[in-house]
Amino acid sequence: MRGRIDEAGALREELEAERQARRDAERLAEENARALYDRQDELELLEMVAGASNEATAIEPALGAAIVHVCAHMRWPVGHAYLSDEASGTLRSTSVWYLEDEARYSAFRDATERSTAPGLPTRVVKAGEPAWVADVATEPEFQRAEVAMGAGLRSGFAFPVLMGTQTVGALEFFSDRPAEPDPVLLGLMAQIGVQLGRVVERERAREELERSNADLEAFAYLASHDLAAPLRAVSGFVSLLGRRYHDRLDDEGREIIGYAIDGVQRMQAMIDDLLLYSRAGTADLQRQDVAAHGLVAAALRDLAPALAETGAAVEVGELPTVHADAGQLQRVFQNLLSNAMKYTAPDVEPRVLVSCRDLDAAWEIAVADNGIGIEPRNAERVFEMFARVHGGADYRGTGLGLAISRRIVERHGGRLWVEPNAGGGSVFRLTLPR
């Protein structure tokens, strides 16, 4: 009898152990599922912020998108962004806010914008790491405690926007309930701070490039003007010397004077192109609806001597009416057509075809030739200033024509590039928005 009782007790213990093991397994599975869900939620937040950062063309829209995504993820009602002044490093409040309830939190926003150095973001910028306020009522360094509590805000945290190791801003968020520091959340926010720092770095680099380009354009314009006057004087005196002493000079002397005049003319052409390059980037565009066919015809009239000299056959297909600066776009066509006639093999009659394709949102105009072509490795280099991929006396030029043309097209919102022509030669394609 006792043996049966012991056996039943053992079975009960075994069943209870199995039940406990099943409960533990279910609890562990639930915890793992919750952790996976939370992890997936975090990854989605990072993905959304990264996408907004990559698409942003300015700093503040990227900050605004990040604040909205973080507030939605945490269900916290207030978020705000600060940026450091690039020159002084002083932290300043931006206009980037998320307020779940405008009326309720407007007083807190106004107090924040009036504050010269809010304690929480300043602490973050100095330390270069996140900071957490578990309860604004008991945090001695939180200067906006009174107005925050009046708005019903109880806790908050901030994290730095990092450009490398440099802190260039901070984002802060507030909740309407007390909250203890969450290391996992702060780690996630640190990654977002790095993503936003890349936007700041990209935008500052763009601004610096624009400043450098503006300085270069101003220098080119002034230098060209300063060089033009003495160059005209040299040209005038050398020409006068050649005319006045022509009969007294031998063949070598006249040849030397010819070289001097030719050099002055090439220098003058380079100065003129420098001025054109500068103006192409700074002059206001006088846009109007203009027939592209008429601009090509005008360019060909200006190139009449080259047409007669080369015997080029130019075919112009149907071209659209475009909204552009007529003078500048004619300059583009003139440069492309001139190159198409110039860069041909000896004893080959240049053949040029100008055509157009409708891309729905833009027009694509092509200038195709049967010339000597451009190697694929030089497809971008030909658009650089002073680039000469074809040397020699047979292909003279300043190396600025294509740089000027690309700048003009890009200012119109289009693109200019070159491709090999299937039948030999090159095809220059440009797009213009409709």
| Beta-carbon contacts of residue 372 (< 8 Å; ≥ 6 apart) | 343, 344, 345, 390, 425
Q: Give tens-digit pLDDT for 123-137.
A: 888 888 899 999 988
Rounded CA separation 408/325 (Å): 9
**Can you tell me which residue has the tokens 């190697």?**
375
Over the stretch 325-359, which tens digit does the pLDDT of each residue have?
Answer: 898 899 899 999 998 988 888 788 899 999 999 99
Which amino acid would we find at residue 46?
L
Is a pLDDT exceeding 50 seen at residue 403? yes
Q: In this predicted structure, what is the pLDDT of residue 391?
A: 56
- Determine the Cα angle at 400 with ends 414 and 303, to 5°: 85
Q: Percentage of residues in the chain with pLDDT exceeding 70?
A: 81
What is the rounded distance in angstroms from the CA atom of residue 94 to the CA atom of residue 99? Answer: 14
Give pLDDT tens digits for 182-240.
Answer: 888 888 888 888 888 888 888 888 888 778 777 777 776 666 667 777 777 887 888 88
Distance CA 121, CA 189 (A): 14
Report how far residue 266's alpha carbon sits from residue 415's, in angstroms, rounded to the nearest whole number.
Answer: 29
Contact in structure between 66 and 94 (CB atoms under 8 Å): no
Express each pLDDT in 148-185 by its tens digit: 999 999 999 999 999 888 889 999 999 999 889 888 88
Closest Cα partner for 260 from 274, 241, 246?
A: 241
The rounded distance, in Å, linking the Cα atoms of 368 and 400 is 20
Contact by Cβ (8 Å): 62, 52: yes
Interval 370-391: pLDDT, tens? 988 888 888 888 888 766 665 5
By percentage, how much of the chain surpasses pLDDT 90?
28
For residue 141, what is the DSSP state?
A: T
Among 70, 90, 86, residue whose Cα is nearest residue 78: 70
pLDDT at residue 94 is higher than 60 = yes
Q: Which of 246-250, 260-264, 316-320 has the lowest mean pLDDT?
A: 260-264
Residue 79 pLDDT: 94
Residue ranges of domains in the chain, CATH in brackets? 39-207 (3.30.450.40), 285-433 (3.30.565.10)
Average pLDDT score, the chain: 82
Tokens describing residue 70: 């973080």
Name the pLDDT band for 37 (thresholds 50, 70, 90). Answer: very low
Distance in angstroms (rounded) separating the CA atoms of residues 166 and 200: 11
Between 366 and 6, the more confident residue is 366
Lowest mean pLDDT among 39-53, 70-84, 99-113: 39-53
Enumerate residues 6+ apart whose C-beta is below 8 A from 211: none
**Separation CA 350–CA 306 (nearest Å):** 11
Q: Please report the pLDDT score of residue 39 as a whole number.
A: 55
- Per-residue model confidence (pLDDT) at position 237: 82
The pair of structure tokens assigned to 206 is 């763009």
